[in-house]
Amino acid sequence: MASTSLLKASPVLDKSEWVKGQSVLFRQPSSAVVVLRNRATSLTVRAASSYADELVKTAKTIASPGRGILAMDESNATCGKRLDSIGLENTEANRQAYRTLLVSAPGLGQYISGAILFEETLYQSTTEGKKMVDVLVEQNIVPGIKVDKGLVPLVGSNNESWCQGLDGLSSRTAAYYQQGARFAKWRTVVSIPNGPSALAVKEAAWGLARYAAISQDSGLVPIVEPEILLDGEHDIDRTYEVAEKVWAEVFFYLAQNNVMFEGILLKPSMVTPGAESKERATPEQVASYTLKLLRNRIPPAVPGIMFLSGGQSELEATLNLNAMNQAQNPWHVSFSYARALQNTCLKTWGGRAENVNAAQSTLLARAKANSLAQLGKYTGEGESEEAKEGMFVKGYTY
């Protein structure tokens, strides 16, 4: 018979929390600890981070009405491609100038609740010498940080990828917290034309779960992002079928890793046909399929669903988000856009100091449009032709 030792006062464990023949460590948000021991084996499980209250507060702040996330975490190489498109060299000074333009846009915090940064930006100052993190906080925007190390080939798969970055993640997330970050992002991808194989889906789900657990342990709210790529000629039903499998696997492993659902945010792809499909879906169809997926797979304990744009045009991403907010949802349904917020802004700036104010106005206009979409009040009036341009890039990488 198992012998039990109580180390500190804690609520009584439910029967389901007993593991036969094992030892369980259960940590409440207050850090109360219970240890169950058995002579046969010894297993330790942490069920919640000591940052639990802070994680919940951060997640709710980011998932606040009428606001979403500005994803500006492009790697230096990807940022270089963006700068090259407007004729600028990829130097730290040019990256600093562009990122300064973004974070210092007056009133940005009215529409943006969080900003995902690349590591360089987290430690960078603006062109005026002020820390980027401090500028964001003054705008009531929560700083976040990209923590994955990118995609590499998954050996044994159907030419698929896996996301690296778990090695050393605990020490890095602790350092990012000290620098002012309060949430994290880890992007992995699933390719429909390449399968997806069971191996690739499991690897994606497991990596996301380990990252989420480690991030919460360091006080960072993890954004869970298994991006189902737009690449392919498949129809919307095939996208839905794959998405159901991926999210079932993701939440299975999140639970196995004792990730606190109230302290995470999701960054899913919308359910759309493949970018090369002859079929096109209306915003209403995208909303119907996507919301059905969320209701079937996402627990209502999750505070926020922050959709990625995935190469949709600025206008398309906003219209689809607006359609999803025409009825009440159990979660905050919002956006975490990069190109769908920045594309016209970057072109307007063109690397010229005299265009900064105009570029910031363009950024604010896109942010406001998506803010209205989060509230279900976007009409699409007055949109430019540039906003209608698709941004899908086959095989796109960050």
Please give the positions annotated as active site: 225, 267
DSSP structural state of residue 270: P
Runs of H (alpha helix) within the chain:
52-62, 76-84, 92-103, 119-122, 132-138, 169-179, 198-217, 236-256, 283-297, 314-324, 339-349, 356-374
Identify which of 61, 49, 58 has the alpha carbon closest to the alpha carbon of residue 260.
Answer: 49
Q: 360 near 40, Cβ under 8 Å?
A: no
Length of the chain: 398
| Cβ-contact 184, 220 below 8 angstroms | yes
Amino acid making up residue 355? N
Triad 26, 57, 291: Cα angle to 5°: 95
CA angle 68, 323, 328 (to 5 degrees): 75
Per the CB < 8 A criterion, the answer to whether 34 and 67 are in contact is: no
Question: Helix 356-374 to helix 92-103 angle, to the nearest 10 degrees?
Answer: 50
